[in-house]
Structure formats: C-alpha cells, structure tokens
Structure 1
C-alpha cells in the first residue's frame, strides 16, 4: 500500500479514533473517582500516605507540599537548656584545653622532648587557660593529662603546676 491510497476521510477517521481512545484512557486513569461518583457508585475511601499525618491539612497555594524532616529527626516544641557546667564542658573551655594538651603531647613526642619541655609547655598553657582549675571536673582533666603524658608525672605535680 502506498501513501497515495489513503484519502483524507481515512486520515480523519483514524485520527478521530486515536484521539477518542487517548482521552478515554486519560479519563479512566486520572478521573476514576469522579466518574464513579457521576454514575452513583460509592468512591473508595483513600488512606493518607505513610509520610503524611492524618491531621495534616493541605494548603492549595503550597504546590510542593509540606516539608519533611530528615530521617531520624523528630519535632519537639520544648526548649531545654544545658546545665551551665555541662555546656562549658561541651563547648569552649574544656574541649579547647584537651585539644591543646593532645597537641603538646604530640609535639613532645615528635621532637623527642624531655619531661622539663612538657612541663614548660604546660606552664604556658596555664597562662592561656587561667580559669581551667575552676571547672567542675578538674580532677578528671588532671588524670587525663597524667595518662596522656609520655613521661611519668604525678597528679600532684600537675595540680601544683596549674595553681
């Protein structure tokens, strides 16, 4: 069959048939519930998606929907402030002090320093952190210094050094 064998009547008949078929498929796919309602059939109740809460309202102006929190995060409306001493341990003075201690120990080990070199650097550290002895867990910091030191050093030596 050649293209010249088709008439305009054949073309419009096939185009009309395919158009009706296309829009029937679209109506059945996307407007199923409305068609059932038009014929008096009871539409099925739709369940909300798992990510949506049953009480969530939908704003017609919010095209993209509600924001979703990252996985594992929950919403809370309580504001809890950390205990002041605990917060000081988490942020600021104590972590900075511990970082300085580890750097001093690392420098002493790299340069094959002596115990006197270590004590000298700790003396300089005392000037940087004059209020470190007033921290709630000062005794545990002293134990940490003693344990991380490459040289035998007593807790009394450390406490006397930072007085």
Structure 2
C-alpha cells in the first residue's frame, strides 16, 4: 500500500500535517496575541508589570535624561570644554617678528652672499667685504638672541673655514 504513494505526495502530506499542527498550537496557546495581531494592535501595548518598582526609592528615569549609564564624566583638573571658535594658540610677539622680519631677511642675504661666492669663486676677504654691507643694513642684529643660530648657519654654509673669533667679530 505504501508503494502506491509518490515522493511528491508524501512531502505534500507532511507539509499539510505540519501546517495543521502548528496552526492548532497557535490557536490553542496564543489566541489572545493572535486576536491583538489581527486587530492591528501590538501584543505588548501594556508595559510589563514591575513588582519591584514599589521597593525602589527613586523613580526610574529614562536613559536620555542623565549623562550615561555611570553619570557625567569629570574633566581633568585644569581643563575645560570650549567651542571651536574659542580655540587659539599663544603667539609670541618676538617669534612673529622673527618669522616676518629681521632674522629671515639676514638669512636670505647670507644665502645670496654664499651663492655669489660660489659662482665667482670668492674667498674669505670677499665674504668679509660683503658682510660689511649686511652689517650696515642690519646693524641691530648683533644684539639679537638668535645670533648664535645665524653664526652657526654661516659656519655650516661658508665655503671656507671661519674661526669662532671671526664669527663673533662679524657683527661688531
């Protein structure tokens, strides 16, 4: 007798019996939720009962009402929160004038002197003659606190050796 059924008929019977079984389970155990679902209402409209709520001293607050799960974080000592428009960096007036004024101009003059000495194969005496013009033009550079860096620049880029005494006497 079982030989008379095909595989297609067997799987169709299994499918129908499974649908019938689960429909019966849903109708028997979940009738209330099914009625709410078909009446276009949510089965969970009412909040779950909180039997413990009367034992809590403070009312339950929503998550958005406070600053996170553990509360607001404390800023480190000496810090503050500012907007982007309030952010600025300290500007040293001397540094700004050095960037735009005397030091870069002297360095540019020195670069030009070294370029001329290289092209025309100048010697130490030619260098000192050209430096007299720079000293006359920038006389106040000798008292600048950055004169050490300028002398170091000269010592590194000069095509000949200059002693410490010659570098120190260069700006007098």
TM-score by length of 1: 0.50
1:131 is the counterpart of 2:110: no
Larger Rg: 2
CA change 1:131–1:81 in 2 (3 A) is: farther
Correspondences of 1:85-100 after superposition (within 5 Å): 85-100=94-109
Q: In the TM superposition, what whole-angstrom CA distance separates every residue of 1:17-76 from its partner, at most 9, and x where no partner exists?
A: xxxxxxxxxxxxxxxxxxxxxxxxxxxxxxxxxxxxxxxxxxxxxxxxxxxxxxxxxx53
TM-score by length of 2: 0.48
Q: Which structure 2 segments of 5+ residues have no match?
A: 1-83
Structure 2 equivalent of residue 155 of structure 1: 164
Q: Secondary structure at the match of 1:146?
A: helix
Task: Give the Å deviation of 1:111.
Answer: 0.6
Measure the CA separation in 1 of the matches of 2:117 and 2:155: 14
Structure 2 equivalent of residue 114 of structure 1: 123
Structure 2 equivalent of residue 48 of structure 1: none
Q: Which structure 1 segments of 5+ residues have no match?
A: 1-74
Measure the CA separation in 2 of the matches of 1:82 and 1:134: 22
Measure the CA separation in 2 of the matches of 1:83 and 1:133: 21
Measure the CA separation in 1 of the matches of 2:165 and 2:93: 28
CA change 1:160–1:107 in 2 (3 A) is: same
Measure the CA separation in 1 of the matches of 2:131 and 2:125: 10
Q: Secondary structure at the match of 2:85?
A: coil
| Aligned Cα root-mean-square deviation (Å) | 1.9
How many residues align structurally? 90
Task: Give the Å deviation of 1:156.
Answer: 1.8
Counterpart pick for 2:112 among 78, 103, 109: 103
